């Protein structure tokens, strides 16, 4: 029927040797960009997303419309729906799973802890269960997070650094995800790659993140709150531009080994891979705000709180030499240029491309 035809069309690679990828969280920020990049180079792409209301559903629908223009179909469903997933894997021989669906955000974990367990732990296990039973088994690439480094005070962060001090429940579920992935790699021979993204930003981004909400509030003349670290130290983030992250995701899919269907040393797959995908150049929150003020041509009203937010880590800074060596990962967009592109998109998306004084906000 119509649904099945759309699924098949969406999954059809347009080039020989094209991948066939199921992208979870495809209506999300990173999922949208990764789906578009894969489709553009000729891979078959099918999305799945539950369109939850953690942030504006209208933005997720707008991203969906963008994907539909490129003939990428998003199934509306939850990654905990095992029957739906099994139906999809029976219908299509996915070569890869790009798993980006999750409950993101650090602070919301204090309001709604259950949604992190549902999506980041139970959802991941459901997907891995379906992948281990699939024939062929897909290679899996999924999003972990820089937050797993937690209260680690050694910078820059390298993949083997300690990750046993998460500062938030979000971080704890991402860390748990890495350990769950390890067991599926070990027992069932699944090829799995975890990517620790570092505060990703860009066009079509997430309204709950600081650079996005600051832009909205600065334009509206509303005060923004800047959290500073203890001891007058500014908090810093290794803000990473979406296009750089997308390149790292695509390279991870391309270099992922085959799932072998058997664990153990002799016949097993390549071991679990974990990579940092950061920018290697942390910027403080006040500096982020200055760059936004410059691009928006509006001064921010600032409310400074000399304490980190509960659950925040003080700083993040990626060492990406492993991703560079194995994926050819090489972030090239600095925050100044990346935010310029974000602001251009933001103004266009909200119909605000006119002189500052005549903008209706
Ligand atoms: P996002 O919230 O924009 O995208 C996630 C998408 O997954 C959303 O569209 C949501 O509707 C969907 N989703 C959530 N739970 C689901 C479920 N149970 N079933 C089906 N769909 C579900 O977030 P993003 O910024 O695109 O993040 C993508 C991934 O990268 C997430 O795993 C996130 O934790 C991780 N990550 C993001 C950042 C960042 O800075 N953006 C940094 C580190 C890690
Ligand atoms: C981001 C994402 O939201 C997480 O989903 C992701 O896992 C994480 O990156 C990651 O890299 O792993 P975070 O870096 O906390 O988390 O991003 P924001 O919420 O945008 O905060 C960035 C910085 O701005 C933090 O230092 C925060 O304290 C600060 N901030 C945030 C403010 O000063 N004021 C605010 O109103 C909000």
> Any idea which architecture 2-200+242-279+314-332 has in CATH?
3-Layer(aba) Sandwich (3.40)
The pLDDT mean for the chain works out to 94
Which phi and psi angles does 106 have, rounded to 5°? Answer: -90, -45
Query: Which residues are within 8 A (CB) of 117 and not within 5 positions of it... i.e. 6 or more apart?
Result: 173
DSSP string, 179-190: HHHHHHHHHH--
Q: Take residue 347 and report the two structure tokens written for it.
A: 């103004």
- Find out whether 10 and 73 touch, Cβ atoms under 8 Å: yes
Give the lowest-confidence range in 132-141, 152-161, 295-304, 305-314: 305-314
CA of 4 to the centre of ligand 1 (A): 26
- Find out whether 194 and 178 touch, Cβ atoms under 8 Å: yes
What pLDDT does residue 234 have?
Answer: 75
Catalytic residue positions? 170
What pLDDT does residue 107 have?
Answer: 92
Going by CA atoms, what residue is nearest to atom 30 of ligand 2? 210
> Could you tell me what percent of the chain has a pLDDT over 70?
95
Q: Give, for ligand 2, the residue of 209, 225, 339 to mutate: max count of ligand atoms closer than 8 Å to Cβ.
A: 209
pLDDT band at 260 (very low <50, low <70, confident <90, very high): confident
Between 299 and 260, the more confident residue is 299
- ipTM of the shown complex: 0.99
What integer is the mean pLDDT of 296-320? 93
Radius of gyration (C-alpha) of the chain in whole angstroms = 20
CA of 124 to the centre of ligand 2 (A): 23
Task: Give tens-digit pLDDT for 13-42.
Answer: 999 999 999 999 999 999 999 999 999 999
Task: Please choose, from the candidates 97, 131, 114, 130, the residue with its C-alpha nearest in 3D space to the C-alpha of residue 25.
Answer: 97
What pLDDT does residue 307 have?
Answer: 85
Ligand whose nearest atom lies closest to the CA of 241: 1
248 membership: H or E segment, kind and range: helix 242-255
What pLDDT does residue 264 have?
Answer: 47
What integer is the mean pLDDT of 234-240? 92
Query: Which residues are within 8 A (CB) of 164 and not within 5 positions of it... i.e. 6 or more apart?
Result: 150
Query: Ligand 1 pocket: which residues have CB below 6 Å?
Result: 25, 27-31, 49-52, 60, 78-80, 100-104, 119, 123, 143, 145, 197, 199-200, 206
- Find out whether 82 and 72 touch, Cβ atoms under 8 Å: no
């Amino acid at each position: 029927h119509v649904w099945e035809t759309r699924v098949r069309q969406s999954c059809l690679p347009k080039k020989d040797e094209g991948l066939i990828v199921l992208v979870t969280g495809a209506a999300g920020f990173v999922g949208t960009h990764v789906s578009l990049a894969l489709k553009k180079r000729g891979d078959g792409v099918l999305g799945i997303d539950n369109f939850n209301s953690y942030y504006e559903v209208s933005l997720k629908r707008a991203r969906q419309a963008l994907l539909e223009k490129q003939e990428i179909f998003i199934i509306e469903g939850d990654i905990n729906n095992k029957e739906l997933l099994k139906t999809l894997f029976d219908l299509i021989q996915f070569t890869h799973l790009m798993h980006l669906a999750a409950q993101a955000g650090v602070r919301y974990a204090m309001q709604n802890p259950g949604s992190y367990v549902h999506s980041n732990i139970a959802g991941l296990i459901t997907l891995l269960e379906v992948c281990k039973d699939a024939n062929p088994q897909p290679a899996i690439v999924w999003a972990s997070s820089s937050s797993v480094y937690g209260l680690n005070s050694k910078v820059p962060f390298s993949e083997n650094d300690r990750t046993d001090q998460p500062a938030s429940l979000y971080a704890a579920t991402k860390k748990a995800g890495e350990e769950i992935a390890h067991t599926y790699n070990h027992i069932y021979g699944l090829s799995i790659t975890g990517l620790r993204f570092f505060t990703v930003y860009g066009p079509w981004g997430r309204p709950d993140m600081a650079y996005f909400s600051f832009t909205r509030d600065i334009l509206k003349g509303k005060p923004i709150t800047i959290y500073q670290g203890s001891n007058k130290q500014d908090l810093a983030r290794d803000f990473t531009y979406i296009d750089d992250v997308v390149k790292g995701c695509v390279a991870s899919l391309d270099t992922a080994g085959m799932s072998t269907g058997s664990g153990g040393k002799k016949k097993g797959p390549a071991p679990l891979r974990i990579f940092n995908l950061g920018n290697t150049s942390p910027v403080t929150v006040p500096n982020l705000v200055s760059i936004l003020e410059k691009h928006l041509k509006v001064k921010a009203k600032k409310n400074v709180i000399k304490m980190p937010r509960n659950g925040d880590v003080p700083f993040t800074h990626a060492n990406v030499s492993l991703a560079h060596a194995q994926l050819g990962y090489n972030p090239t967009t600095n925050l100044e240029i990346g935010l310029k592109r974000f602001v251009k998109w933001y103004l266009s998306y909200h119909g605000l491309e006119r002189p500052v004084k005549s903008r209706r906000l």
